Amino acid sequence: MSQNTPPTVQRTVVLGSTSRYRRELLSRLNLPFEVAAPDVDETPQAGESPRDLALRLALAKARAVAERFPQAVVIGSDQVADLAGQPLGKPGEHARAVEQLRQMRGQTVVFQTALAVVCLATGFEQVDLAPVKVLFRPLSDDEIENYLQAEKPYDCAGSAKSEGLGIALLEAIENDDPTALVGLPLIRTARMLRAAGVQLL
CB 40 within 8 A of CB 64: yes
The reported pLDDT for the residue numbered 1 is 38
CATH code where residue 26 lies: 3.90.950.10
- Encoded amino acid at 151, one letter: E
- Residue 146 counted as domain residue: yes
The reported pLDDT for the residue numbered 13 is 98
The reported pLDDT for the residue numbered 80 is 93
The 3-state secondary structure of 177-199 reads CCCHHHCCCHHHHHHHHHHCCCC
- Residue 181 counted as domain residue: yes
Give 82's strand partners. Answer: 87, 110
The reported pLDDT for the residue numbered 157 is 85
- Residue 95 counted as domain residue: yes
CB 141 within 8 A of CB 171: no
> For the chain, how many structural domains are there in total?
1
Closest C-alpha to 155, from 100, 114, 115, 117: 100
State whether residue 151 is helix, strand or coil. Answer: helix
The reply to whether 78 belongs to the active site is yes
- Residue 4 counted as domain residue: no
- Beta strands 108-119 and 124-136 are antiparallel
The reported pLDDT for the residue numbered 3 is 44
Rounded CA separation 122/74 (Å): 12
Rounded CA separation 142/148 (Å): 10
- Residue 201 counted as domain residue: no
- Residue 104 counted as domain residue: yes
- To the nearest 10°, the Cα dihedral for 123, 28, 53, 102? 180
- Residue 2 counted as domain residue: no
Q: Which of 41, 52, 78, 128 is catalytic?
A: 78
Closest C-alpha to 44, from 24, 62, 60: 60
CB 14 within 8 A of CB 33: yes
- Residue 6 counted as domain residue: no
DSSP string over 27-96: GGG----EE-------PPPTT--HHHHHHHHHHHHHHHHHHH-TTSEEEEEEEEEEETTEEE----SHHH
Indicate whether this model's pTM tops 0.85: yes
Question: 146 is in which domain, residue-wise?
Answer: 13-195
pLDDT tens digits for the chain (201 residues)? 334 433 456 899 999 998 999 999 999 999 999 999 999 998 889 999 999 999 999 999 999 999 999 999 999 999 999 999 999 888 999 999 999 999 999 999 999 999 999 999 999 999 999 999 999 999 999 999 999 999 999 988 889 988 899 999 999 999 999 999 999 999 999 999 999 999 998
